[in-house]
Structure 1
Amino acid sequence: MDNKRYFSIGEVSRLKNVTIKALRYYHNIGLLIPAYTNPENGYRYYTINQFIYLDIIKICKQSNVSVKEIKALFAKADTNYLKFYLEQKNEEIHKEILKTAIHSSEDELMNNGFNIQTFKDRYFLSLPTQDGELNEIKSFDKLDEKLGELAVQTFQYGLIYSCHHDNWKISDVFRLITSDDYRLLKDTFNVSKLSKGEYLTINCTGDTEIETFQLVKEYLEKNSLTCNKVYMFYLVTDVFNQNNHFSQFQISLKPTL
């Protein structure tokens, strides 16, 4: 080492609010290589001049720029192009994500009653919550703070109903994240996966959520299906009329392990 001020990977993690796992991943793919790596123990060290690159990575991820695209931007090393690219990407991709979410929700509303649907692997970030609309809103606010720091916005979110000793209650709020964000964050406490497979689904309006969840419980009991979590997704339809929102309950048909 020379006389420069070096920061350990743990110090960088704390100072820049980025996980050690993410820093190791960025190193492994060549996105952000430590200024010095101790050849004896493999410990990574960074200089303060490298902190700006972590800021850029965070800004890019908030604009839905993939890690592959960030690498290309770093390789180009053109600040004006970076600014232009982020402006365009932020506008175009957020429009596309929202449009996809709305179209998907509209398709779901064509289904009536109970249905069996097949989904691919999905990933989500969650936080515990207390029952009650105000508590759920506060929990979503905290979740969104974390999302803004770590993950891409997908506009797919909802509540988790959990069962303890035959007693069901709302236990968590969640938002879906991308597979890239999952790989970066999967060792953290509140990142999970909804495995691919068949799910029992049923739609409802905001006014009929309680009654519909009662139907879900009756269906599970009648068909001898066992599960300890039910996911309720808010469907993105009329974004300017949240008083008339729709939701969808989803229950994995895989046996509970």
Structure 2
Amino acid sequence: MHDSHTTYYSIGEVAKKKHVTIKALRYYHKVGILVPEHIDPENGYRYYTPHQLLHVDIIKVARFCQASIKELQLLFSTGDTKELYGYLTSKKQELTEQMQQLQDVSDVLDSLKDYAEESERAKVLNKLEQQEYEDRLLVVSPIDPKLGLEDFAEHDDLEAIIESLNVLPTYRTGYILTDLHTSHVFHVIRTKHRMPKDERIHRLPAGSYLTISYRYGQKQEAIRSIQAYADKEGIEVTVMYEFELLSELFEPGGFIHQIQVRLSGPK
């Protein structure tokens, strides 16, 4: 080697240190984006300097960010640090946007999973059950008597409230019954930060809830079952939460309803 004071790494050592394949390093040499500092003229072995290990990192990051070989050829042909900085900055911005998109998808997956789980738990109809739930947050809005209860979507002020609060909506919606009268419409939300006190946000504490699921038209019978149980157990029920759920996700008209009444805190 032409400089005895320089440390060199064989292609195998570079592959091991940087977790890339020897085949990839040979390809990068072939296309001109990572030319070995020294090639032994007798056996053709490739040798790289410590400085070139940084080049491998740049290539790996750029390729992960979907950079083309042509982009990298242009970048390495100029050897301009300022241009490299600009390029890496733009890739960082792209990656940040992709991460946010992935987080948005993850949030939707969580909401769908929770909705499917709660719907599955509610499939037993016309039977009183005690079920445990974690803390839930509801965005609520008073019922507009002019709209009635026929179409939940008509109560679109909830959407505006959710947007103004910068929280994540879920697929779980329903109504609050106060003293047997439907008083509010609600939407279960998710949030990553502590919510300030707000009259539009209700908290359903974790704990045991008395539940009964039923199909459309069976609401009064379900309420009577709840009341009979409450009278027997000496429980005063002033607030009920009526959830709209799915009994079968892929069947038309698969919606069911479930009333929940809080009994106690966590066990």
TM class by smaller structure:
0.5 to 0.7
Whether 1:89 and 2:103 are equivalent positions in the alignment is yes
Amino acid of the residue matched to residue 252 of structure 1?
Answer: R
Structure 1 runs not aligned, ≥5 long:
1-75
Largest Rg, 1 or 2 = 2
Distance 1:119 1:105, change over 3 A: same
Q: Secondary structure at the match of 2:121?
A: helix
TM superposition score normalised by structure 2: 0.56
Counterpart residue number, 1:17:
none
- Residue of structure 2 aligned with 1:145, choices 151, 157, 160: 160
> Residues of 2 paired with 1:120 and 1:82: CA distance?
32
- Residue of structure 2 aligned with 1:246, choices 214, 235, 256: 256
Counterpart residue number, 1:14:
none
Q: Per-residue deviation at 1:239?
A: 4.9
TM superposition score normalised by structure 1: 0.58
Counterpart residue number, 2:188:
176
Percent of residue pairs bearing the same amino acid type: 21
Counterpart residue number, 2:176:
160
Q: Per-residue deviation at 1:97?
A: 2.2
Structure 2 runs not aligned, ≥5 long:
1-89
Distance 1:127 1:219, change over 3 A: same
> Which structure shows the bigger proportion of residues in helix conformation?
1
> Residues of 2 paired with 1:211 and 1:101: CA distance?
25
> Residues of 2 paired with 1:213 and 1:234: CA distance?
15
> Residues of 2 paired with 1:239 and 1:148: CA distance?
27
Tell me the matched-pair count. 173
Whether 1:78 and 2:96 are equivalent positions in the alignment is no
> Residues of 1 paired with 2:261 and 2:157: CA distance?
26
Counterpart residue number, 1:108:
122
> Residues of 1 paired with 2:206 and 2:108: CA distance?
25
Contact 2:172–2:188 at 8 Å: present in 1 too? yes
> Residues of 2 paired with 1:218 and 1:129: CA distance?
27
Q: Per-residue deviation at 1:92?
A: 3.9
Instruction: Write out per-residue CA displacement over residues 103-156 of structure 1, whole angstroms, 9 at most, x where no aligned residue.
Output: 3311331476111122222221111104632475432x1102221332112222
Contact 1:126–1:172 at 8 Å: present in 2 too? yes
Instruction: Write out per-residue CA displacement over residues 133-184 of structure 1, whole angstroms, 9 at most, x where no aligned residue.
Output: 2475432x11022213321122222110001xxxx20001111223535x23
